[in-house]
Structure 1
């Protein structure tokens, strides 16, 4: 699945083999997000992680969100 724009945000879901794989992925994303100071909204349920990326201060999707989406894809 590709990232899609929905309600002023980029959204995408990722599925993994199990909870540990999903949590490990989320940890890698968290470390990257801290480094670039751009933090995603996410939910995690067992083997699925859902993201919603938006730049709240800009009122919608910006280049920072697209860059973070590309980084998240690379970490998956």
Structure 2
């Protein structure tokens, strides 16, 4: 599934082989998010990570969210997310 825009946010779910792979991926996302000072909303349940990207101060999706989505996709590809 690709990113879906709804309710003023970008949404995507990713699955990994197991909890450790999902957690390692989230660690990579967290390091990038800190670097760019733009932090995603996410939930993680065992091997699944669900994202919701929005810029609260702008009231919806901005170019920063789209750039973060692209980086999340790149990191998922490197970490075998599907």
- Asked if these proteins are the same fold (TM beyond 0.5), I'd say yes
Displacement after TM superposition at 1:33 (Å): 0.2
- Normalising to structure 1: TM-score of the pair? 0.99
Matched, 1:71 2:67: no
Displacement after TM superposition at 1:6 (Å): 1.1
The runs of at least 4 aligned residues of structure 1 exceeding 6 Å deviation read none
Aligned residues: 76
- Normalising to structure 2: TM-score of the pair? 0.92
Runs of 5+ unmatched residues, structure 2: 77-82
Runs of 5+ unmatched residues, structure 1: none
